[in-house]
Amino acid sequence: MANSTSKLDQALQDLIEAYAALEEEIDERCGEDEEAFATSLIEALEASIDTAVEACDVDTHMVANMISALSEAMESLDPDAFDGEESDDEFSYGLGESEEEEDLEEEEEEKE
């Protein structure tokens, strides 16, 4: 199980980085057009899901169950994760930031 967990850890890190890069690319292309941004993001995700489903020879129910389990795990880690509030910079995921830098940002936001 340790090997599976290690693979999953790496896969989730890769997914987070790829998703952040995708959002950044789409944001550069769409600018302030939120509808175009949302449409482009969904289309890219649909294409990626379709490619992965075919490559792994699984059905969409398996993928939906995985996403549901990820959502439940996220809610356990952070009950406010799905509360609908967005950060000041919705495209910033703190990639590469240390916890100290994140704490400083939180302190600055609280002062405002």
| 15-41 per-position pLDDT tens digit | 999 999 999 999 999 999 999 999 999
Residue 12 belongs to a domain: yes
More confident residue, 112 or 58: 58
What's the pLDDT at 66? 96
2-30 vs 34-56: helix crossing angle, rounded to 10: 150
In a domain, 95, yes or no: no
- 45 in a domain, yes or no? yes
What is the number of domains present in the chain? 1
pTM score of the predicted model: 0.69
Q: Provide the domain limits for residue 19.
A: 2-84
Cα separation values, 1 from 4, 73, 105, Å: 5, 18, 37
pLDDT on residue 84 = 75
Q: Is residue 91 part of a domain?
A: no
Q: Which long-range contacts (CB under 8 A, 24 or more apart) does 101-106 make?
A: none
Residue 41 lies inside a defined structural domain of this protein = yes
Asked if residue 73 belongs to a domain, the reply is yes
The per-residue b/e assignment along 24-42, b for 16 or more CB within 10 angstroms, e otherwise, is eebbeebeeeeeebeebbe
pLDDT band at 1, cuts 50/70/90? confident
Whether 53 is in a domain gets the answer: yes
* 105 assigned to some structural domain: no
Q: Write the pLDDT tens digit of every residue in 53-109.
A: 999 999 999 999 999 999 999 999 999 998 876 654 444 444 444 455 555 666 666
